[in-house]
Structure 1
């Protein structure tokens, strides 16, 4: 049985979760880790019986890995990606792809120059609830109303030790998880964005925007900043209303019914960080030359651009 060799860059929480999901797949061999903090890298290496390397270049030269999972922080992403793209492995990059739109653009341009095979770990796309929702939507090609409720807290981010540049760009760091739902739940291109409540960086409070797509789909984005609120996604068409609140669980209301019926998520989303085991399987599908549902860097860039336009950080089309 062929073993696919996977290396990891970064040794923090997400690196640990990716390693746990990947190591549960029979055809995967974890072959090395390279991390900024030597102590954490050694702990991760010991947990999965793999060596620690001083650099990405050294790790590829020694392992000839088939894939690498990059889990470094937003500020380090451009330089780490540029080095990772030098080698012919498949790259799975943790989101966000850079601290802001400019950094994401640099990473995308570097990947194109290197002709890199790069994908982005939007694990919420891999939630069983999200996949179940897409299956429900496939039965009706009519217009969709997609409503996203976001809640963010910059004070909590600061208290958690996030760098100030990351906190200032927290919509890219965290809201991107929810804004990405528009990128694959809605069909067609963004036609217009109307700002009902614009972003006020000097005094963050509420953000509201209506996004219209060429398909006729409509997106409604609402965010509360530094105030309480749940994360939720709802999608409605002629026949069904889908609600994910929390995002990890799906409930369905069909036409003619008055109640939501909960759909049980797959057990794997309880055994591992939700979405990561399925995402790991998708990475292996790519290595085996099969189709997979991972977001490409171009997909991620569309979500970053949409985030910028919702928050008035880039010109609206």
Structure 2
């Protein structure tokens, strides 16, 4: 496999892929060659390349992982689509919905095999809760709690365009839980407390699914709040707070029962080791087994647009119905 980018996220991916049996780390490309050379030395990567075409030729990779910045993702991803490798894009796959749509359209035109690194889908907490819930009948109520800050995003050096679209760059982590636990398709998104970009504060939205599942998305901007997800059924309630740990409560009981944490989520950035395993499996022609596709990512981006009333990008139609 090969990697594009040489920052901290690239290193976390390399750690995870290096642990998958049979994987060879054969190439790296970054606009900052010195950083690429440092990672190549650390992980024994044979080829440090100056462009994507050279990376494909030198690495002979079946899989490339793209870990570039939000504003660089579209151009780099589209350049990768010219070659017949499997592609894993770090999230977000687009700095806003229009950018995400453009990436998806280019991938479709090139018939590229593209997946997105929505790593929280691979947390052992998420997988344990989901496996259990799939065996529990009845409707689900999903409650997602999010906390965001444009000021913090700006303070750590993100460009103004990314800060302005921070719900796509960062809230994607939490909105994606609605797609993970909600069954069927989104039938409506109803703002309860709408997003006000001039005065970021509380955002509340009711999300309904064709299965009858109901969700509440709650975000606190510029204030204290957790990242948490709960899923309640008539028989059992699951809670992930922090997201890496899961507990469940049975009907008629007060006790919270902890689910075991997989060792991979302690040894590696949580979710990355399972994600790497699935990416290798897909690149070898095997089943995806839940590795999100670019279409899955785009569906979450559309849901973000609907929740945040992003009319200019097709996120809402004024009726409360989710777009696309």
TM range (shorter): over 0.9
| Aligned residues: CA RMSD | 0.9
Any idea what SS the aligned residue of 1:30 has? coil
TM-score scaled by length of structure 1: 0.97
How far has the Cα of 1:112 moved from its partner?
0.3
Matches of 1:187 and 1:197, distance apart in 2 = 24
Is 2:55 the partner of 1:59? yes
Q: 2: CA distance between counterparts of 1:63 and 1:250? A: 40
CA deviation map 1:221-272 (0-9, x unaligned)? 0000011111000001111000000000000001121121111211110100
1:79 has 2:82 as partner: no
- Kindly state the Cα deviation for residue 141 of structure 1 after the two structures are TM-superposed: 3.3
Q: With the length of structure 2 as denominator, give the TM-score of the two structures.
A: 0.95
Question: 3-state DSSP class of the match of 1:303?
Answer: helix
Unaligned runs of 5+ in 2: none
Matched, 1:245 2:238: no
> Take 1:295 and 1:141, find their aligned partners in 2: how far apart are those partners?
25
Q: Secondary structure at the match of 1:179?
A: helix
Aligned to 1:175: 171
Residue 289 of structure 1: how far off its partner (Å): 2.4
CA contact (8 A) 2:27 2:58 kept: no
- 1:287 CA drift (Å): 2.3
Alignment partner for residue 291 of structure 2, among 274, 290, 294?
A: 294
Quote the residue 2:25 is aligned against: 30
Q: Does 1:307 align with 2:304?
A: yes
1 CA distance for matches of 2:309 and 2:137? 31
Q: 1:48 aligns with which of 15, 36, 43?
A: 43
1:288 shift after superposition: 2.8
In structure 2, what is the equivalent of residue 3 of structure 1?
A: none
Q: 2:78 and 2:90 mapped to 1: Cα distance?
A: 14
Give me the whole-angstrom Cα distance separating, in 1, the residues matched to 2:244 and 2:104.
29
Which of 71, 95, 100 is the aligned partner of 1:99? 95
CA distances 1:185-241 after superposition (whole Å, capped 9, x unpaired): 101111111111100001101100001111100010000001111100000111100
Unaligned runs of 5+ in 1: 1-5
219, 232, 241: which one pairs with 1:223?
219
The CA distance in 2 between the partners of 1:37 and 1:147, in whole Å, is: 41
CA displacement 1:296-317 (0-9 Å, x = unmatched)? 0000000000000000002142
Deviation at 1:38, TM superposition (A): 1.5
User: Secondary structure at the residue paired with 2:72?
Assistant: helix
Number of residue equivalences: 312
**Cα shift at 1:145:** 0.3
Q: Which runs of 4+ in 1 moved over 6 A?
A: none
Answer with 166-175 or 287-296: which moved more: 287-296
